[in-house]
């Protein structure tokens, strides 16, 4: 083989090697990069769809602002004793739904605020952690607006030697919770 033929074959081998190297580079990092771009655009499309669903839900569940939202938040304009009784009945129903055993109620002193009167009840009850969580959720989600405050929780230790079966049972909790409601009142 001549020197020229050898040079042409080595150049073609070098070009073939260069082509294989470029193909390997294209398959490796470039494919990963395009895959990253594709997954990012898919994530953006999913988030856009989720945003549209949230906007549709917000539009359908938005309360009518022309009817006055204060009536949804405040107790009706009734005497304080009736408002306290209504608050107690609401708490009894929420406690029953949450599987909380009510041990008693104590009526708290009414407090005059600018434009409203704060009416409060102290609830003493017992139940497990899940029941207490369900009760707190029911109080916070209630309409008219109820405000939980001053939660005090006390647990009871399992009796010694109760064994592993007693440890699997929910631990009973005694708790005390102040719940307040508001009704329209004269401005101070």
Rounded Cα distance, 11 and 17, in Å: 10
> What DSSP element (H or E) covers 119?
strand 116-127
pLDDT of residue 119: 92
pLDDT of residue 152: 93
Read off the pLDDT of residues 72-130 as tens digits, 9 standing for 90 and up.
778 888 888 898 999 999 999 999 999 999 999 999 998 888 888 899 999 999 999 99
pLDDT of residue 165: 58
Rounded Cα distance, 38 and 33, in Å: 9
pLDDT of residue 103: 94
Rounded Cα distance, 100 and 92, in Å: 9
Contact, 175 vs 153, CB < 8 A? yes
The percent of residues in the chain predicted with pLDDT above 70, rounded, is 82
DSSP code for 17: H
Report whether pLDDT(166) > 60. no
> What DSSP element (H or E) covers 184?
strand 173-184
Rounded Cα distance, 179 and 128, in Å: 19
Enumerate the β-bridge partners of residue 106: 122
Report whether pLDDT(188) > 50. no
pTM of the entire structure?
0.57
Rounded Cα distance, 121 and 144, in Å: 15
Rounded Cα distance, 137 and 14, in Å: 73
Read off the pLDDT of residues 27-77 as tens digits, 9 standing for 90 and up.
877 788 888 999 999 999 999 998 888 888 878 765 554 444 566 778 888
| 3 state DSSP class of 43 | helix
């Amino acid at each position: 083989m001549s020197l020229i033929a050898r040079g042409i074959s080595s150049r073609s081998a070098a070009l073939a090697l260069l082509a294989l190297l470029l193909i390997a580079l294209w398959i490796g990092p470039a494919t990963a990069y395009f895959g990253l771009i594709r997954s990012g655009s898919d994530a953006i499309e999913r988030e856009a769809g989720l945003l549209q669903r949230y906007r549709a839900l917000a539009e359908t569940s938005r309360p009518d602002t022309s009817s006055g939202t204060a009536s949804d938040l405040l107790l009706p304009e009734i005497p304080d004793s009736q408002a306290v009784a209504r608050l107690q009945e609401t708490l009894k129903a929420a406690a029953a739904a949450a599987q909380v055993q009510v041990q008693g109620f104590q009526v708290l002193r009414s407090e005059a605020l600018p434009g409203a009167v704060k009416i409060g009840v102290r609830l003493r009850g017992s139940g497990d952690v899940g029941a207490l969580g369900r009760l707190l959720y029911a109080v916070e989600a209630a309409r008219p607006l109820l405000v939980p405050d001053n939660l005090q929780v006390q647990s009871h230790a399992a009796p010694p030697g109760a064994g592993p079966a007693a440890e699997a049972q929910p631990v009973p909790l005694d708790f005390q919770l102040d719940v307040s409601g508001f009704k329209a009142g004269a401005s101070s």
